[in-house]
Structure 1
């Protein structure tokens, strides 16, 4: 896969360094200490119940099920289900089986492609489609990985170690470049997503999203520290405080996941850009300029709205003309 490193290991090590666990979304002993600081009864949170909440887990070319069963390499038919998946630039297609697949191979410029006819018969066996928008894979065991998509987590298992590395890198690359104007060799008449942005804009989007999530993450951590100083005086307040703390734990876990995901996407784009011969220093300068331009345009739009809202009814038309003139001058035109 384009010579990319396994970025999921980087995410796991970062999470382990912070919280003492490789399981993304679980704060480990960090939150237990916060609960002790509340001087309340130490409530043990059932992690197995947390895993059962995401039991509608389907898998790529293998089986899906309980996290503990993965560690023990034990799979029961009532909890695990074998499925067949096809990864495309549009997303991950999950099927019940592959008895309808009769692939053909076409070679074009040293690129091999499997051609699979997606007939109405096969569409009936389609279980789900995981869109490439925000799809992220994190390796949790040598033979297993988890997929995050639309606030859901699904666990996938593969018997082949080499195969699982290909799945992890391939899915993350497809998601990082979704709707990005990157020219790739494809077979004729291929169905691809609409390319709405260039490489710089895509990278700027992930940088902006990462900064916003990091800011939100700091706010949550500050709230958690403040909550640790609270001592409830009634049973009702105590119960509400514990419930609020659990909700913050979930928000913190997802926010941290999004920061890691965006960082992985950024690393992937930079690695691919380097392979395609882009100047990374120049690329980073363009990204900073693009982010600065968006920030300035956003400030101008806010100022224009506030100015329009503060005028009296008698001056509305006059203010509107002045505002329109300013906006058009900024865009390179003028009103006569």
Structure 2
């Protein structure tokens, strides 16, 4: 049984609407050790006028000495209707319904129309009158399977569940589990369809505790067959109880106020939140779960449950074992006769009201013919990592971890070593030099400036280290148009970001030599022959921390931009993910592709780490120079810990998303609108899963790069223990 929720959890999950149905766990009045699930709904008084009824009428009192002017009026016999007291009725105290849900289910079962009596059913009732103890006598050394065989030989299959769960005997529970395992395969069915199939064959008992045992064993069996979907017993038990309660509420003719969809979804969601952490993946997870609960509401209320008669029970067991057609249950919602199951056709009626129309679906036609899979949605989902180009199959036992191995092609340790030397050494082979008055694009909230010579009286300049320059072509979409074109940029990868310039002719390059006779290329703005309308500032910037990757869809892009008959160097495409951007870029050959991806990712992996940085040996003596670098606030251990935490969080999120996709792939919606709603939820999930794969692939690669860089730093440190390094913070303190 479920534990009773605390009062704090009930109040926090209570929907803020006055007409909600509430589910609560309360002690059983018949047994203090048991709990029963009860339902309550607020009740309001009927609207009535203040003039209606004798109790609301007040005797007219006219003060003496005055004349009532309405007496002489021609309309004095008319009584004007005063304001309704409907709003005042909302202030009345709510009245809880009684009895609870199980008693309601029992009453519903007793109100069913009696079925035809057979010899087996008559004999069963005779035994019930004599006492169940005599009926269920177990022979010595009899196994649950043997006892079940003997029971099936004497009594209808429709009564087996009621008989076996008539008391708390552990032996009878084992017999019930043997009965379910032998004849009921729910492995490829959703919960609502499995419940409909189970209740078609098995009648629920009359006692509330027996009903609870049947539902528990059904839930336990269903969970055992859906372990890959992450459905636990508590979740399945609560949901099964709620579906039966919803069915009773909807199809009980004595119930005049039916439960609305939002009431069912909100209250069931609040109940499930007490057993599972539904909000851990954000609002998208809650939206998807609500879509699934709405599906359950639509399917259960689509048509009432029905069951076979005892006259048809002789054919049931053979049909369940051999997968032959089952007998059609009596009292179906269509025409009550069996017919050939037709394929599902979902159509949408085009009209101004956008109403949905579809062919009528009889779920029992698909149940009896064992082809309910035809009702499933087509969920085109691939568990492969889209950021992994390898065509090797993943390990089905470890789908995620087997697909986060970094691609060795895009991890060059030699290039990583050169980048480390450029990042922290006293010599840099290329520098970007910009006048301080025009260098606003170099400065940001995560940058700092190190002044090299504060006593110089010349013009002030800012410099930053360059790791790579080249031409990149970016795919762009024109404003107010779906047409996409390619635009070429001159790109400069620096220690503070990746800058995209429209015109390379705005810059000039010159060689300078430091005190050690080492050459450095300085990239700076031209001072002559510069167009008036041209600006040396970049068109846009991607800050450090970006992730460059080649996805499987880039292979398709390559086929579009290359001529298959040409023998020239082939263009290659790849993605660059920024903090707020995701764009496709193209380079001229494979060498440039590998170089750009390696440079961007290596610099991003080392970006926030506080590395030992040497002061540059600059030849500038007639100007005030300041070097712009990124703030480095993390130690190596902190950076590695953050990456590990992010990888574990992404892995857990992917596992939860995969479980939800498996659950959705089982669903069999009966209505076109329900199917469309679920398809929309699947599309949102696909986008979220791709983004989670991106975060996992990026952080895994960054961790691998950082571990390689840390090994190289340790090796360099051991080779030059006496060499003094100066950090950026030390320079500022000086």
TM-score after normalising by structure 2 = 0.28
Tell whether the 8 Å contact from 2:507 to 2:526 is kept in structure 1 after alignment: no
Q: Which residue does the alignment assign to 1:87?
A: 493
Q: Equivalents in 1 of 2:390, 2:595: separation in Å? A: 22
SS in 2 for 1:126: coil
Select the residue among 549, 552, 557 that pairs with 1:138.
549
**Is 1:259 the counterpart of 2:665 in the alignment?**
no
Q: Equivalents in 2 of 1:170, 1:91: separation in Å? A: 12
Q: Which residue does the alignment assign to 1:223?
A: 660
Q: Kindly indicate whether structure 1 or structure 2 has the higher relative contact order, using CA contacts under 8 Å at least 6 residues apart.
A: 1
Give deviations 1:45-99, integer Å, cap 9, x for gaps. xxxxxxxxxxxxxx96132339xxxxxxxxxx97111111110111111111211
Q: Which residue does the alignment assign to 1:116?
A: 523
Q: Equivalents in 2 of 1:111, 1:144: separation in Å? A: 36
Alignment of 1:1-336 (within 5 A): 12-13=388-389, 17-18=393-394, 61-65=471-475, 79-106=485-512, 113-117=520-524, 125-133=537-545, 135-139=546-550, 140=554, 143-150=572-579, 152-184=581-613, 187=616, 189-277=626-714
- Return closer, same or farther for 1:178/1:122 CA change in 2, 3 Å cut-off: farther
CA RMSD of the aligned region, Å? 3.3
Residue-pair matches, total:
220
SS in 2 for 1:236: helix
Q: Equivalents in 2 of 1:175, 1:277: separation in Å? A: 20
Higher helix share: 1
Unaligned runs of 5+ in 1: 1-9, 20-58, 67-76, 280-336
Q: Equivalents in 1 of 2:534, 2:520: separation in Å? A: 19
Q: Equivalents in 1 of 2:647, 2:517: separation in Å? A: 36
The structure with the largest alpha-carbon Rg is 2
Q: Equivalents in 1 of 2:628, 2:597: separation in Å? A: 23
SS in 1 for 2:486: coil
Unaligned runs of 5+ in 2: 1-385, 396-468, 477-482, 528-532, 556-570, 619-625, 717-734
- Deviation (angstroms), 1:276: 1.5
SS in 2 for 1:192: strand
Tell whether the 8 Å contact from 2:506 to 2:536 is kept in structure 1 after alignment: no
Which of 242-251 and 109-118 deviates more?
A: 109-118
Tell whether the 8 Å contact from 1:60 to 1:94 is kept in structure 2 after alignment: no
TM-score after normalising by structure 1 = 0.57
- Deviation (angstroms), 1:15: 7.9
- Return closer, same or farther for 1:171/1:123 CA change in 2, 3 Å cut-off: farther
- Return closer, same or farther for 1:204/1:167 CA change in 2, 3 Å cut-off: same
